[in-house]
Amino acid sequence: MQSIYNLTVKDLENYFTNIGEKKYKAIQLYEWLYQKKVRDFSLMTNLKKDIISKLKEDFTIKDIKLVTKTSDINTSKFLFNLDDDNKIEAVLMYHNYGNSLCISTQVGCNMGCSFCESGRLKKVRNLQPYEMVLQILKVEEITKQRVSHLVLMGIGEPFDNYKNVINLIDIINHPKGLALGSRHITISTCGIIPKIEEFSNYDKQVNLAISLHAPNDELRDKLMPINKVYPISKLIDTVKKYTVKTNRRVTFEYIMLKGVNDRVSMANQLSSLLKGINCYVNLIPYNETSHIEYKKSDINAILKFYDILKKNNINVTIRKEFGKDLKAACGQLRANYEEEL
C-alpha cells in the first residue's frame, strides 16, 4: 500500500470517482490531513464508515521517525529515519520574515560536488512525495511552528527526482494542502539543463536557484562534475531562455571557498557572465566540515567580492550563516551519524 501523503488532489478526485464517490471527498480528506493534521482515518468524522474502511484498505498514513535534533539560536536540524532505515535531514532556519525549511529530496546524491557533504554518501534512491511532505509535517509537529517557506536544497538533486518533486509542490501548494505559496518555495539545482527547460513549462510561480559556485568551466569542472555534461555557456543560455519565458528571476548560489573561487578576477568574470540576466547572486559563506578540505573565505574577501558584483550592477546578497556549530552542512549530520555506528 502507498502512503496517502503521496496523492495530489487530482489523484484523490480520480480515486473517489473510481470507487463511486463524489470527487469533493478529496478536499474533505485533504482538510483532515493538512489543515487539521489528523493521522487516523477513523477520526475523519465527515467521511462515511465505508469510505474510511476503503481508505484503510488502500492507503497507509506512514510516518517518519525523528532520530536526533540539534538547535542553536537561529537554526534547528533534524535527522529522520525512513521505513527502510535510510536517514535524511531537514534544517529549519528562523528569519524575521518567517520559518524556512530546507528539505532532502533523495537518500544520498550522485552529483559529486567536491565541496558538498551530501555527495560523500552516494545516492541510494529517490524520496517519494510523502517522505518529503512528512519532513514538513514532522518539523511543524516537533517545533509547534508553521513552516512559511520551503527550500529544496538538502540532501539530493531535486531535478534528479523531478516527477516526485513536482507532485510534492502540487500537494503543499494546494489551498487545502499546506497552502504554501508558490513564491515561498525554492528549488535548487546544480544545472540539469533538460529539467530546467521542462520546469519552464510548469504553471506555478516557484523560485529557481542555480548552484553555480564558479565563473568558468575550468574551475567548475573541478568543483562540480555536472559541468562536464552541461557546461556554463549552455547553462547560462538555458537560464536566459528560462527567465524570458517565465518572467521569473533566478538566483545563482555561490559558495565562497577560501583561495578557490573568491578572487577579485573571479568576481569580475562572474559579473560579465551574468550581465543582463534577470537574477541575483547569493554569496554563501562555506559551512566547513571535518571531512572536506575547503575553508570558508575570509570576510574581507567576501565583502570585496560583493562590492565588485554590486559595482557591476549585479543584484547580490550575502547569506546569513546558519547552523555552523550544528553540523548543518548538507548531509553532514547524516554522514556523521552513519560513521559513528
Domain limits, the chain: 2-60, 65-340
Task: For residue 330, indicate whether it is catalytic.
Answer: yes
**Which residue matches cell numbers 528562523?**
94
pLDDT, residue 320, reads 81
**Distances in Å between the alpha carbon of 4 and those of 36, 59, 65?**
15, 6, 17
For residue range 38-51, list pLDDT tens digits in order: 999 999 999 999 99
Is 89 designated active site?
yes
| pLDDT one-digit tens code per residue, 148-173 | 999 999 999 999 999 999 999 999 99
Q: Is the pTM of this model over 0.95?
A: no
Q: Give the mean model confidence (pLDDT) for residues 183-188.
A: 97
The conformation of residue 257, written as its DSSP 8-state character, comes to B
Determine which one of 21, 253, 330, 338 is catalytic.
330
Q: What CATH architecture applies to the domain 65-340?
A: Alpha-Beta Barrel (3.20)
pLDDT band for position 121 (cuts 50, 70, 90): confident
- Please say if the pLDDT value at position 331 is more than 50: no
CATH number of 2-60: 1.10.150.530
Q: Extract the C-alpha cell encoding 211.
A: 548552484
pLDDT at 336: 52
Distances (CA, A) of 201 to 168, 180, 197, 198: 17, 20, 7, 6
Question: Over 90: is that where the pLDDT of 270 sits?
Answer: yes
Strands 98-103, 65-71: pairing kind: unpaired
Query: From the candidates 13, 89, 131, 157, which is the catalytic residue?
Result: 89
120, three cell numbers? 560523500
Predicted confidence (pLDDT) per residue in 206-235, tens digit: 999 999 999 999 999 999 999 999 999 999
